Amino acid sequence: MVQLKAKIIYNKKFKGDYWHCIIDAPLIAKKSIPGQFVNIKLSDTLEPFLRRPFSIHRIGSPAKGNFLPKTIEILYKIIGQGTEILSGRKKGEYLDIIGPLGNGFDYTRTHEHTNTRTILVAGGMGVAPLVFLSEKIKAKAKVALIGARTKAQVLCEKEFKNSGCDVKIATDDGSAGFKGKVTELLRQVLLTNSRTHELTNYIYACGPKPMLKAVAGIAKKYRVSAQISLEEHMACGIGACLGCVVKTKTGYKRACKDGPVFEAQDII
Amino acid sequence: MKPNLSVNIGKLKLKNPVMVASGTFGYAEEFSDFMDLKKLGAVVTKTITLNPRQGNSPPRTCETPAGMLNSIGLENPGIEVFIREKLPFLKKLGVPIIMSVASEDGPEEFVALAKRMDKIKEAAAIELNISCPNIGHRSNLPPKLISQDPKATYKVVNSVRKVTQKTLITKLSPSVTSISEIAMAAQAAGSDAIALINTLSGMSIDVEKRKPKLAVVTGGLSGPAIRPIALKMVWEAYNKIKLPIIGMGGIIDISSALEFFIAGASAISIGTANFVNPKISIEIMSGIRKYLARNKISGIEKLIGSLKI
């Protein structure tokens, strides 16, 4: 991990309240693994005082044919003072950024394996790290399940499709795709596959806590391996303060260092 | 002219007066990617207890205006695991290591910890954490601290003093009526130095949920928000006691660091600011040197307690 001043090369709203920021940080980009995050100092004042963690959404610009990753991309929604300030930062300005941080997804079990199926489960903003993961996993059988409250909040459908996923959508109000929870879609997908027994499923999920809890329950029931990415309030982001711990079967673990990605069955 | 940055804290000689505060620097390993740890004046470890402690339930932190609350609850692996797994890295640093210790069960545990630390050559000093506001909550109310009582403070420091010759630093709480009364008790009991201040007891509420932001309701406030209080306590203690004072509380830059020396601190600790900028302690150290050179002050000793009134 490194700490550096990195230049913003793009920072615009892309849908509703959702923003997309691209930062020039080759030293971070080349070491980043899906599920890892960066910790950004958003202002030079005391408000907000602490850094804010952002999941790495993508590296480089594969679509433009960049071979060596030079940039990292983050997605954010304006939810408070920090993200409000970030939305006001302009192209060409610099951000004090630390990364890549944390323990990302272990995708070696599905990567390039022909007998496995990758199931990505994203709730709301949870799409962010899963797009990066989807772009890394070369295996053909990939399903992305995107959950949102309403159609306007369905994110990254195109990115998942472009990276080879079969995309299914669930919205609470039924304005797009399946009406209901994304975890219900997950259950259906697993049921279909369990009849054929052709492929071994692997679940990777990111989203709100209740969704992740439901994913863990379903994964357990259907005996499928699942990794989940947790979001906790962090102070240091580098494993020193022990502020962001989550309860696991082997005691408290740091979301910032031991996580944010954990085996679903280890979390209590 | 190259200003002299060295200071003495009891028998402990520091090459420069910038240390990192307990609980904000882990066991130093976490920071090795960001800085040359050898440049630090000293490292104070995350507090160690006799037995492993799992700490308090999360959430354990929340941001507050110009600072943060924490209620970690001294999560640590216990002294034996610390010695086996964390000490080897610290030993190699070539920087004085100050062992922060706390008791879950009265003065006897402090004595046991001190005896164990006394045998460790690399333990440059022992810091008695008798001021953590995050252990021993009484039905959701903050705990009663040893350092809120001069007699209890005297008893712990005096008991430890009898079993070790190592430099003893007593870390005090600002949540008291008179800081000098407690500092004098520590001095009378044989402490070699005083560390001021630990976090202030505080709380914060999520108004939508009407729930405390910390699971254990109250925690310790740190960051620039507490700096004026810390500074005043250093100044007050400096005028009442003879012992060197290690000043801390909301230091985030060179200017705020200098304030503490001028108020009477012989050394300073960087705490919460490490979370915001992991290499801030080194930047502050070189800034102090430049300040001394610019003002033609031969050494940091000359700055200590130099407040003009």
Instruction: Determine the pLDDT at residue A196.
Output: 58
Q: Cα–Cα–Cα angle for B101, B105, B109, nearest 5°?
A: 50
B132 flagged as catalytic:
yes
CA distance B24 to chain A (A): 6
Q: Give the pLDDT confidence of A189-219 residue by residue, as tens digits.
A: 988 765 556 778 899 999 999 999 999 999 9
Q: Do A252 and B33 touch (CB under 8 A)?
A: no
Of A43-52, A104-113, A196-205, B14-23, the range with the lowest mean pLDDT is: A104-113
User: Has A49 been labeled as part of a binding site?
Assistant: no
Q: How confident is the model at residue A64 (pLDDT cuts 50, 70, 90)?
A: low
pLDDT at A62 over 60: no
Residue B32: what pLDDT? 94
Give the C-alpha separation, A123 to A113, whole Å: 26
Contacts by A169-176, CB closer than 8 A, 24 or more apart? A169/A145, A170/A145, A170/A146, A171/A147, A172/A148, A173/A149, A175/A150, A175/A151, A176/A148, A176/A150, A176/A151
In whole numbers, what is the pLDDT of chain B averaged over residues?
96
Confidence category of residue A112, pLDDT binned at 50, 70, 90: low
Given CB atoms, is A238 within the 8 Å cutoff of chain B? yes
For residues B211 and B219, give the distance between their C-alpha atoms in angstroms, rounded to a whole number.
14
Phi, psi of A195 (to 5 degrees): -75, -30
- Please state whether the peptide bond connecting residue B3 to the residue before it is cis, i.e. omega within 30 degrees of 0: no
Q: Report which secondary-structure segment, H or E, holds A58.
A: strand A58-59
Give the pair of three-digit tokens for residue B4: 């002299």
> A155: distance to nearest CA of chain B, Å?
27
In contact, A59 and A1? CB cutoff 8 Å:
no
B199 appears as a binding residue in the annotation: yes
Question: What pLDDT is attached to residue A66?
Answer: 55
Nearest partner of A155 among A170, A143, A173, A166, judged by Cα: A170
Residue B308 lies in a domain: no
Give the C-alpha separation, B267 to B304, whole Å.
Answer: 9
Residue B1 lies in a domain: no
Segment B162-191 shows an average pLDDT of: 97
Mean pLDDT value of segment B137-148: 88
Lowest-confidence segment of A65-79, B81-95, B167-181 by average pLDDT: A65-79
Q: Are A54 and A74 in contact (CB under 8 A)?
A: yes
In a domain, B134, yes or no: yes
CATH 2.40.30.10 in chain A: give the residue spans: 2-101
DSSP A50: S
pLDDT average, residue stretch B7-30: 96
Residue B261 lies inside a defined structural domain of this protein = yes
Asked whether residue B56 is assigned to any structural domain, the reply reads yes
**Residue A115 pLDDT class (50, 70, 90 cuts):** confident
Q: Does residue B36 contact residue A225 with C-beta atoms inside 8 Å?
A: no
> Taking 70 as the threshold, does the pLDDT of residue A63 lie above it?
no
Contact A18, A241 (CB under 8 A): no
- Residue-wise pLDDT tens digits, A162-195: 999 999 999 999 999 999 999 999 999 988 765 5
Number of domains in chain B: 1
On whether residue B149 sits in a domain, the answer given is: yes
The minimal CB distance from A46 to the residues B26, B60, B224 is found for: B224
Q: Where in chain A is the domain with CATH 3.40.50.80?
A: 116-266
- B194 located within any domain: yes
B309 within some domain: no
- The Cα of A5 is separated from the nearest Cα of chain B by a number of Å equal to 12
Query: Could you report the per-residue pLDDT of B75-94, keeping only the tens digit for each?
Result: 999 999 999 999 999 999 99
Structure tokens, A197: 């027994």
Fold that domain A116-266 belongs to in CATH:
Rossmann fold (3.40.50)
CB-CB neighbors (< 8 A) of A46 in chain B: 65-66, 223-224
- CB < 8 Å to B224, chain A: 46, 49
- At B266 the pLDDT is 98
A80: which chain B residues are within 8 Å (Cβ-Cβ)? none
Closest partner CB to A50 (pick from B46, B75, B276): B276
Residue A201's pLDDT is what?
A: 87
> Among A112-126, A184-198, A236-250, B111-125, which is the least confidently predicted range?
A184-198
* Among the partner residues A46, A251, A252, nearest to B66 by beta-carbon distance: A46
Q: Is B196 annotated as ligand-binding?
A: no
- Output the furthest CA–CA distance in chain B (Å, rounded): 59
The CATH number that domain A2-101 falls under is: 2.40.30.10
Partner B contacted by A267 (CB < 8 A): no
pLDDT of A33 > 60? The answer is yes
CATH number, position B45: 3.20.20.70
Domain that holds residue B106: 7-302
User: Residues A39, A97: contact at Cβ < 8 Å?
Assistant: yes
Query: Do the Cβ atoms of B68 and A247 come within 8 Å?
Result: no
Q: Confidence band (pLDDT; 50, 70, 90) for B245? A: very high
CB contact (8 A) between residue B66 and residue A47: yes
